[in-house]
Amino acid sequence: MEANQEQVQDRVKRGRIHEGPRNHIIAFGISIFLTLLAFMAVANSALDATFIKIFIVILAVFQAVIQLAFWMHMKDRGHFFQILFLATGAFVAITAFIMAVYWVWW
């Protein structure tokens, strides 16, 4: 098992395996931290409601970017089409979002 680990480390160094779990665990830590921050902001009734809403949406977008970049490997090379596909989807989603917030009323 130990020899196997060394072989793996060797392959990581030579770039044949792109990374170990370190970045993924950091991404997990950041996600937990951002989530806690959002829950604490909402639990804190002293803050202004509009401020909380904007703040937690920014935290959500940030967390989504972190997870896409690290867990879904978007930060790695050769992900042009991946980014294009998701950005196209996000464009439609954001258009629908703007429509819902500014154009639709009941």
How many Å separate Cα 77 from the centre of its chain?
17
Yes or no: say if 8 and 15 are a contact pair by the CB < 8 Å rule. no
Number of helical H runs and strand E runs in the chain: 4, 0
User: Which lies closer to other proteins via its Cβ, residue 75 or residue 94?
Assistant: 94
Positions that interact with other proteins (CB under 8 A): 4, 8, 11, 16-18, 20-21, 24-25, 28, 31-32, 35, 38-39, 42-43, 49, 52-53, 56-57, 59-60, 63-64, 67-68, 71-72, 81-82, 85-86, 88-90, 92-94, 96-97, 99-101, 104, 106
